[in-house]
Amino acid sequence: MDEHMITSEEAMRVMAEADLLHSAEDVAAMLDRMAVEITATLGDKTPLVLCVMTGGVIVTGHLLTRLNFPLEQDYLHATRYRGATSGSKTITWLHKPEAALVGRHVLLVDDILDEGYTLREVARWCREQGAASVHIAVLADKQHDRRVEGIWCDFPAIELVDRYVFGFGMDYKEYWRNANGIYAVKGL
Ligand SMILES: O=P(O)(O)OC[C@H]1O[C@H](OP(=O)(O)OP(=O)(O)O)[C@H](O)[C@@H]1O
Ligand SMILES: Nc1nc2[nH]cnc2c(=O)[nH]1
């Protein structure tokens, strides 16, 4: 068994003990606001929206249904936590987008900006590929002083306390990405 895996019984206990930080209704309202801001900035730019898998999948889906203008969609898969609750400083690329980025206005969509290693590297790569601009949208913008230099977030839906969170795409040891809300793990 993978060292980070837990049983489904443990996953049930984690959920039972977790604190609900933001309900599904809160998240929906904040995504509505984020969509308005993205539309104002990128609505006339036919952006290429890149979902950062795996965590970005749910927020990207919900966000896309709120963007009522022409855009293209693709995905990439970069990971640094790999099922653990702390990450290495280098990211592992599992998939790069098929779409050419040259001259495109790219919108990266991910679940969470924490220390920033993941999105800093992904944004750097997009610029290296020739993107005309790179904007970043995240569901959760975690507040602490461990952020790496050179990363920013243009469209944060929610500012989060410095706890380990799961739900709406974010995992606890690969479980509960499907939780419909944002929860904090007891004691973390
Ligand atoms: O700002 P950082 O400290 O770099 O952390 C944020 C990243 O961590 C998570 O990815 P993870 O590596 O867990 O992969 P996953 O999306 O497959 O869960 C999350 O989806 C972000 O991409
Ligand atoms: N699930 C989850 N993934 C993260 N990646 C970086 N920070 C977090 C977090 O708090 N929760």
Instruction: Categorize the per-residue pLDDT at 83 as very low, low, confident or very high, splitting at 50, 70 and 90.
Output: low
pLDDT surpassing 60 at residue 1:
no
Ramachandran quadrant class, 46 (left: phi over 0; alpha: psi -120 to 50; beta: rest): left
Coil, strand or helix at 184: strand
Tell me the pLDDT tens digit for each residue of 24-49. 999 999 999 999 999 999 999 999 99
CB 79 near ligand 1, within 6 Å: yes
Task: Give residue limits of the domains in the chain.
Answer: 8-184
CB 110 near ligand 2, within 6 Å: no
**How does DSSP classify residue 23?**
E
Q: What is the mean pLDDT of residues 57-62?
A: 98
> Which structure tokens are listed for 79?
């990971």
- Percent of the chain, pLDDT > 70? 95
CB 175 near ligand 2, within 6 Å: no
Torsion of CA 74, 99, 115, 40, to 10 degrees: -70
Residues 113 and 156: their CA atoms lie apart, in Å, by 9
Work out the angle at residue 66's Cα, subtended by the Cα atoms of residues 63 and 72, and round it to the nearest 5 degrees.
70
Q: What is the mean pLDDT of residues 11-30?
A: 96
CB 176 near ligand 2, within 6 Å: no
pLDDT surpassing 90 at residue 58:
yes
Ligand 1 center from residue 141 Cα (angstroms): 12
Tell me the pLDDT tens digit for each residue of 110-156. 999 999 999 999 999 999 999 999 999 999 999 999 999 999 999 99
Instruction: Categorize the per-residue pLDDT at 5 as very low, low, confident or very high, splitting at 50, 70 and 90.
Output: confident
Residue closest via CA to ligand 1's atom 17 equals 54
CB 164 near ligand 2, within 6 Å: yes
CB 45 near ligand 1, within 6 Å: no
Ligand 1 center from residue 20 Cα (angstroms): 20
Ligand 1 center from residue 83 Cα (angstroms): 9
Sheet architecture: strand order including 155-160: 92-95, 72-79, 48-53, 105-113, 133-142, 155-160
Per CATH, domain 8-184 is 3.40.50.2020: yes
- Confirm whether pTM is higher than 0.90: yes
What is the structure's pLDDT at 81? Answer: 74
Residue closest via CA to ligand 2's atom 3 equals 170
CB 111 near ligand 2, within 6 Å: no
Residues 99 and 96: their CA atoms lie apart, in Å, by 9
Residues 77 and 53: their CA atoms lie apart, in Å, by 5
Residues 48 and 36: their CA atoms lie apart, in Å, by 17
Residues 181 and 188: their CA atoms lie apart, in Å, by 17
Residue closest via CA to ligand 2's atom 11 equals 165
Ligand 2 center from residue 46 Cα (angstroms): 30
Q: What is the mean pLDDT of residues 16-28?
A: 97
